[in-house]
Amino acid sequence: MLRLIGKTLKIIVILAVFVILVIGGSFAVRTYKQTKVVNSYRPEVQELADQAGVGTYTDVILGIMYTESKGKGTDLMQSSESAYGTRGKISSQQESIESGVKHFSESYQQAKAAGCDLNTAIQAYNYGTNYIQYVKERGGKNTVELAEKYSRDVLSPGYGNNQQQMYRYMQVQSVLYNGGYLYQNGGNMFYAEMVQMNKQFLTLFQRLQKG
């Protein structure tokens, strides 16, 4: 009986390892392909970032692109709302990159002037630059907890979600933090963390692609 249980457990462990390897391999291949697409925009982003005075943060801007679109579609940086105040107005990838770099540059310069950290500027790309003053008044450092409060208490009610309704959002950061939820009409409180993670993926896979 004990031998049968031992064999069964061994089979379960082997199957579990196999499933993990398959899923991990699939994720790695997909991420490799997506980062290759996003990294193909690096020269263009670098040039525009240099012109805007944020060339040092080209990897961050590419991390934003990866987070927003994985390098697919017309509005690569999802910058229509920051440029026009509404979605669907961007007419070309070039315009999207130009608007996205400009939006990040403005967020970064305002965050720097306010004494806030880089993640505040990144989060403000998603929330809007009013978030910078909010962070400044609360210590100058972006955290998920602070981003959640802004999402719940400022953004969501401002767009009609007075009941603090939430919806499923299954990403690593959200699952670990609250089981996988965002506030309806409240932006993405995990945005800065996700961009920083995606920036690391881009850097890692760029080295592999060069090799």
Alpha-carbon torsion (54, 58, 59, 63), positive or negative: positive
Query: pLDDT value at position 16?
Result: 60
Nearest to 82 by CA among 104, 111, 63, 60: 104
**pLDDT digit string (tens) for 56-89?**
999 999 999 999 999 999 999 999 888 888 888 9
Q: Is residue 160 part of a domain?
A: no
- Arithmetic mean of pLDDT, 168-180: 95
Query: pLDDT value at position 33?
Result: 87
CA distances for 56 relative to 7, 48, 100, 108, 168, angstroms: 56, 11, 16, 11, 35
Q: Is residue 177 part of a domain?
A: no
Mean pLDDT taken over the chain:
90
Q: Is residue 184 part of a domain?
A: no
**pLDDT digit string (tens) for 10-21?**
667 666 665 555
Structural domain span for residue 116: 2-143+190-210
CATH number of the domain that 126 lies in? 1.10.530.10
Query: pLDDT value at position 83?
Result: 83
- Arithmetic mean of pLDDT, 126-154: 98
Q: Is residue 105 part of a domain?
A: yes
Indicate the pTM of the whole model: 0.86
Q: Is residue 198 part of a domain?
A: yes
**pLDDT of residue 153 exceeding 90:** yes
Q: Is residue 69 part of a domain?
A: yes
Query: pLDDT value at position 3?
Result: 62
Q: Is residue 62 part of a domain?
A: yes
Q: Is residue 152 part of a domain?
A: no
Dist CA 147 CA 158 (whole Å):
15
Confidence band, pLDDT 50/70/90 cuts, at residue 27: low
Q: What total number of domains does the chain contain? A: 1
